[in-house]
């Protein structure tokens, strides 16, 4: 049920494709998952506490769970008959080493205070084997990029082959063409859409790190390896731009398919840069409510004089580039839309 909800299922009339099992989604983000909770492990962590040894002399040394930082929790050894009856207290040599406080404790916490977080981590590590599901790659490069969550989610879906490209839709039994909607030449998979399609290559050629992208394309065979290669080479600032361009390219593809609108390559680039700048500005305002950066957000459109129209203009351009994106919007004295254009 949770898996279907995540992928968009909302009832019998709105079926969806479950691109990945919940077991894979629940893997740690560093292993290629989304970090969702394993419910069985989480329930166990909510209940799983034990007692720290006190001054009781009746705790058997060999067959009780008394070790704090080992697994299993009881000692493993070839027990000699002469020491089979030893108690834990027999290991205490003097008064200074006596355990006199009995309290709830947990393995994995230096102070011994029980923590559901640490208990859950131990349960996942030792009770749930997901090693065979792990996907190689430095996933921190993806999760640490300073971009909107929707961009990180897109990159994760590209790398995990969960994006509804036409090739993947055909793999899932959906009847559709496999041809790229932008070039109408090659099959539409993630590698083609984002890196090998002539349209996307033109977008990358406008950036200041095209040589990095080109080198990654030439030396890797799939979209995941290309992305990890590029993120490994780029600076933090360039990585954010790179990530947002991926998002804008996917939006270009969707506009072509669903709206029959062809986005120019320079607009794809400027849209990515503008989205990133707007998101950063919102983050600054959110982190500092008293900041004066809130003032521009309070501005309202003012209507022109009677019998006239108003034309609002905005423009932007990426650093180290001579490409400019502009937009205009014309409205009448009542604010009714007349004309708009982007270039």
Could you list the pLDDT tens digit for every one of the 343 residues in the chain? 666 666 776 555 566 788 888 888 888 899 998 888 877 777 777 775 555 555 446 666 566 665 555 555 555 555 554 556 666 666 555 555 554 444 445 555 656 566 777 777 777 777 777 777 888 889 999 999 999 999 999 999 999 999 999 999 999 999 999 999 999 999 999 999 999 999 999 999 999 999 999 999 999 999 999 999 999 999 999 999 999 999 999 999 999 999 999 999 999 999 999 999 999 988 888 777 665 544 555 567 788 877 888 888 888 877 777 778 888 888 888 888 788 787 7
Task: Kindly report the three-state secondary structure assignment for every residue of the chain.
Answer: CHHHHHHCCCCCCCCCCCCCCHHHHCCCHHHCCCCCCCHHHHHHHHHCCEECCCCCCCCECCCCCCCCCCCCCCCCCCCCHHHCCCEHHHHCCCHHHCCCCCCEECCCCCCCCCCHHHHHHHHHHHHCCCHHHCCCCCCHHHHCCCCCHHHHHHHHHHHCCCCCCHHHHHHCCCCCCCECCCCCCCECCHHHHHHHCHHHHHHHHCCCCHHHHHHHHHHCCCHHHHHHHHHHHCCHHHHHHHHHHHHHHHHHHHHHHHCCCCCCHHHHHHHHHHHHHHHHHHHHHHHCCCCHHHHHHHCCCCCCCCCCCEEEEEEECCCCCCCCEEEEEEECCCCCEEEEEEC
User: How far, in Å, CA of 230 to CA of 228, rounded?
Assistant: 5
Q: What is the pLDDT of residue 148?
A: 97
Who contacts 8 (Cβ-Cβ below 8 Å, separation ≥6)? 14, 16
Q: Which parts of the chain are beta strand (E)?
A: 50-51, 104-105, 310-316, 325-331, 337-342
User: How far, in Å, CA of 114 to CA of 50, rounded?
Assistant: 9
Contact 69, 96 (CB under 8 A): no
Mutual angle of helices 265-287 and 236-258, in 10-degree steps = 120
What pairing do the DSSP bridges indicate for beta strands 104-105 and 310-316? Answer: unpaired
| Burial of residue 6, with CB atoms counted within 10 A of its CB: 0-12 exposed, 13-18 middle, 19 or more buried | middle
């Amino acid at each position: 049920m949770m898996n279907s909800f995540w992928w968009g299922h909302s009832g019998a009339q709105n079926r969806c494709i479950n691109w990945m099992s919940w077991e894979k989604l629940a893997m740690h983000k560093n292993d290629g998952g989304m970090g969702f909770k394993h419910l069985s492990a989480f329930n166990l962590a909510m209940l799983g506490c034990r007692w720290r040894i006190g001054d009781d002399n009746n705790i058997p040394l060999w067959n009780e769970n008394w070790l704090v930082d080992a697994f299993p929790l009881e000692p493993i050894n070839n027990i000699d008959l002469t020491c089979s009856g030893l108690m834990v207290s027999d290991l205490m040599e003097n008064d200074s080493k006596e355990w006199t406080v009995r309290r709830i404790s947990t393995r994995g916490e230096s102070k011994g205070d029980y923590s559901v977080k640490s208990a859950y981590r131990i349960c996942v590590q030792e009770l749930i084997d997901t090693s065979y599901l792990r996907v190689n790659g430095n996933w921190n490069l993806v999760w640490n990029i300073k971009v909107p969550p929707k961009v990180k989610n897109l990159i994760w879906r590209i790398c995990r082959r969960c994006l509804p490209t036409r090739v993947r839709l055909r793999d899932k039994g959906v009847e559709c063409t496999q041809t790229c909607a932008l070039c109408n030449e090659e099959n539409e998979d993630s590698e083609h859409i984002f890196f090998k399609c002539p349209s996307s290559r033109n977008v990358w050629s406008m950036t200041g790190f095209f040589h990095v992208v080109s080198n990654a394309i030439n030396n890797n065979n799939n979209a995941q390896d290309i992305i990890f290669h590029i993120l490994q080479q780029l600076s933090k600032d360039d990585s954010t731009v790179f990530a947002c361009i991926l998002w804008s390219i996917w939006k270009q593809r969707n506009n072509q398919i669903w709206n029959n609108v062809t986005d120019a390559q320079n607009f794809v680039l400027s849209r990515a840069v503008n989205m990133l700048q707007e998101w950063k500005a919102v983050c600054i305002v959110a982190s500092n409510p008293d900041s004066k950066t809130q003032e521009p957000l309070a501005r309202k459109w003012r209507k022109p004089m009677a019998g006239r129209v108003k034309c609002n203009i905005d423009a932007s351009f990426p650093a180290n580039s001579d490409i400019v994106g502009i937009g205009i919007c014309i409205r009448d004295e009542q604010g009714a839309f007349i004309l708009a254009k982007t270039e």
